[in-house]
Structure 1
Amino acid sequence: MDTESLFIGRLSVLAERNDPIDTSLYEKYDVKRGLRNANGTGVLVGLTSIGDVVGYEVKDGKKIAIPGKLLYRGYNVADLISDAEAHSQFGYEQAVYLLLFGELPTQSELELFKKYLGELRTLPPNFTEDMIMKAPSADIMNKLARGVLASYSYDKNPEERSLSNILRQCIELISRFGTLTAYGYQAKRRYYDGKSMYIHNPLPELSTAENFLRLIRNNKAFTDDEAKLLDLALILHAEHGGGNNSSLTVHVVSSADTDTYSAIGAAVGSLKGYRHGGANIRVIEMMDDIKSHVRDWSSEKEVKEYLRKIANKEAFDHTGLIYGLGHAIYTINDPRATILRDHAAKLAKEKGLEDEYNLYKLIERLGPEVIYEKHGDEKKICVNVDFYSGFIYTMLNIPRELFTPLFAVSRIAGWSAHRIEEIVAGGRIYRPAYKNILAERNYIPIEKR
């Protein structure tokens, strides 16, 4: 081991030793860990009119589980999807319009908005060469965050805080997130995977979903069904209330009166985390592990036994987590997962992957039982959106390193709406309290240490 590694190792031991906090102190001082109340509900820190996540009712201080609903500006997201499917249209752009402006667009308003988005998808001159190709990243989320921050340098008016300027910046980011992500992926292919790199131009007449598939594939080819299914996933991921970690990050950073690029860049960093948007990759990795260790995928006994090993930290990544199960708000069901599951069934049948789909369904049923056996918690557990999203992306031949970036390509719509809401209706910097538990100490001169 080299000198630097030994030095860092010693410092790590010091850091860990000097930062222990007795867990009983959290209860003593009534600390809301993770901004959660004792009953699992979130601490109320703000008001929003953008989105609502419904999974339970509180009666007499107790949470009562109810079927899950996801609302965008008061409209059920399931209705947005049904309407898009009924008219065989791409619906993500309409969802973006609704989230930004609070109302459903007329057909003419929607067409103008789509045209505006389409015209902005191409990155500024020299951006691709200077900001993406010259500094590729092995992780596309980090590359995306850098692309967001670099966009500041290409903005002629990056610091103005007027609503019109912030709205312009947000719309430009919404339109370009797919391009930034796809080009970051192509750079990774070239410099880290030793594969060919294909830089295609986005087409203004194509939807967000169509352009994304066009940009990540060497032949630019995709089917209408593929694009429509990706569009559906984008709609489902576009917004999830103000309390999710990345949207809260936008509110917190925006409340400090910083620029748009700093606020959105911070949100990308939040979404990357395995406890947030990065969970979809962990689900796929977990499923790979299960498929390699369970001989009979249809056997309830074998599958449940292996899930027990995962829960007991004896298998997979030894964290004890069954990824894709559980949600802070949804109890009976995550409506996003329900919609994706139904579409996954159809796609799996088309691609001859019904055995794998049935394994997902089995884990969806058995996982909550295993968690209850392990923890004895009567809280209802359901699969969340991450459980099926990665499976669908895999069947669409989308590389798994793009799963979480795709989440960002969609969620930039919700982040933008939350930034605007904070600028318009916030007006006060977030400043929660932390209780110091270390007494004041007398300073020791260096020669006496």
Structure 2
Amino acid sequence: MVKEGMDGVVALQSDISKIDGEKGELEYRGYSIHDLAEKSSYEETVYLLWHGDLPTKDELENFSKDLAKRRRIPPEVIGLLSSLPEITHPMVTLRTAISYCGSLDEKLHVIEPEENLEKSKEIMAMIPTIIAYTHRMREGKKLVHPRQDLDRTANFLWMLKGEEPDPLEVKALDTDLILHAEHTLNASTYSSRIAASTESDMYAGIVSATGTLMGPLHGGASQWVIEMLREVKKEEKTSPEDWVKKQVEAGEIIPGFGHRVYKEMDPRAKELKKLAQGLDERKGNDWCSISEKIEKAVKEEKGLYPNVDFYAATVYVNLGIPDEFFIPLFAMARIAGWTTHMMEQYKKNKLIRPLQEYVGEKEREYLSIEKR
């Protein structure tokens, strides 16, 4: 039986994460995403995904220190960032820089458990630096180098803004990163596993994943959402409800709604909505007010619930993240899932190679070029 888009097809077994689409539930290694969002940190969540269990206090402290030591990027990569054309999207910059980092790894093609973990740590630690440096270069500002006395999220905001990070903003972004860290076989994760199944190197798999994430039907939707919210906000004579109705009547896609797996509201969207409301109140903004009206209208018009991208946009805009950096932030979080899945694939590898059903012409006669 052919299933377009592999809809409903079980491609492999994994013990990394679990989705119950009917109930709207998500778990990492058996832990509810709601518990992790409330009680955990991103670094602790990464440890859980990579090692299978939550760390002890000493294990987490040592893990965080290890990652912090790896934050600086090679000067060759800084040179690359400064040499790319101004029109380059930050997500293209990120995947290009990751590929370049691979060229500097002397053990690029060593595929062994310990080495795979080392590569995962290197990539995990460097991605926030690459993103922050890219932003500051685009703004014409002096680079702010990483600090080892801050956790991953606080250090990223430090490098991005060049000022001591606001604890509320750190908590909000850290929770957002937890919610985006892993999500079973989404398109980008699957592409990374396909690369791993060929025994290609980890950098190649991550480049494949970043390229896949950028699509507007995947991670690219978050940037699309904020563009939509800005458009609705400008329409002073048209209410959000009427705007949605016009879009539906015109057959247009409304970004941030619907999901291939969830039949109920995406549990990550529930947590992001709370974050967005808190930030809106703190910043004196009304993004959530507009978003909630759109959410209600889309539910009434199309029966669709918001997905992870919808309220993430409000979180990011309240944090002062430029629109074009929404997708790189998604990658900064999902690197946890990509690396975990690649390491799992390497351990019990079988080349991923699905079949196709041919529906083209058959038994055609070959004619010489003079007779065509």
In 2: Cα distance, 1:399 partner to 1:280 partner: 12
Match of residue 74, structure 1, among 12, 25, 30? 30
Equivalenced residue count is 370
* Identity %, equivalent residues: 35
The answer to whether residue 267 in structure 2 is matched with residue 348 in structure 1 is no
2:60: which partner in 1?
Answer: 110
How far is 1:359 from its partner? Answer: 1.8
Match of residue 309, structure 1, among 228, 232, 246? 246
The answer to whether residue 257 in structure 2 is matched with residue 325 in structure 1 is yes
How far is 1:370 from its partner? Answer: 1.1
TM score, norm. by length of structure 2: 0.95
1:71 counterpart letter in structure 2? E
Structure 2 counterpart SS, 1:126: helix
Cα contact 1:272–1:278 (8 A) shared by 2: yes
2:190: which partner in 1?
Answer: 248
> Structure 1: which 5+ runs fail to align?
1-29, 37-41, 57-65, 85-90, 190-194, 297-301, 314-318, 373-380
Cα contact 2:229–2:290 (8 A) shared by 1: no
1:335: which partner in 2?
Answer: 267
Could you say which structure has the larger radius of gyration?
A: 1
1:229: which partner in 2?
Answer: 172
The answer to whether residue 6 in structure 2 is matched with residue 35 in structure 1 is yes
1:155: which partner in 2?
Answer: 105
Moved more, 280-289 or 259-268: 280-289
1:8: which partner in 2?
Answer: none
1:360: which partner in 2?
Answer: 291
Cα contact 1:294–1:303 (8 A) shared by 2: no
Cα contact 1:368–1:382 (8 A) shared by 2: yes
Superposed, 1:37-116 pairs within 5 Å as 42-56=8-22, 66=23, 68-84=24-40, 91-116=41-66
Superposed, 1:388-407 pairs within 5 Å as 388-407=311-330
In 2: Cα distance, 1:139 partner to 1:232 partner: 25
Cα contact 1:255–1:423 (8 A) shared by 2: yes
2:208 counterpart letter in structure 1? A
How far is 1:280 from its partner? Answer: 0.5
How far is 1:224 from its partner? Answer: 1.3
In 2: Cα distance, 1:368 partner to 1:260 partner: 40
1:209: which partner in 2?
Answer: 153
Superposed, 1:430-449 pairs within 5 Å as 430-438=352-360, 439-449=362-372
In 1: Cα distance, 2:369 partner to 2:155 partner: 62
Cα contact 1:325–1:368 (8 A) shared by 2: no
Match of residue 290, structure 1, among 232, 236, 253? 232
Note closer, same or farther for the CA distance 1:353–1:135 as it changes in structure 2 (3 Å cut): closer
2:11 counterpart letter in structure 1? V
Cα contact 1:279–1:324 (8 A) shared by 2: yes
Residues 40-99 of structure 1: CA deviation (Å, up to 9, x unaligned): xx201101100112221xxxxxxxxx2x22211111121122224xxxxxx100000000
Residues 324-344 of structure 1: CA deviation (Å, up to 9, x unaligned): 111112222211111111121
2:165 counterpart letter in structure 1? F
TM score, norm. by length of structure 1: 0.79
In 2: Cα distance, 1:443 partner to 1:148 partner: 46
Structure 1 counterpart SS, 2:21: strand
1:299: which partner in 2?
Answer: none
Cα contact 1:93–1:114 (8 A) shared by 2: yes
1:22: which partner in 2?
Answer: none
The answer to whether residue 263 in structure 2 is matched with residue 263 in structure 1 is no
Note closer, same or farther for the CA distance 1:210–1:429 as it changes in structure 2 (3 Å cut): same
After superposition, the CA RMSD in angstroms is: 1.6
Answer 1 or 2: higher relative contact order, Cα 8 Å, separation at least 6: 2
Cα contact 1:304–1:370 (8 A) shared by 2: no
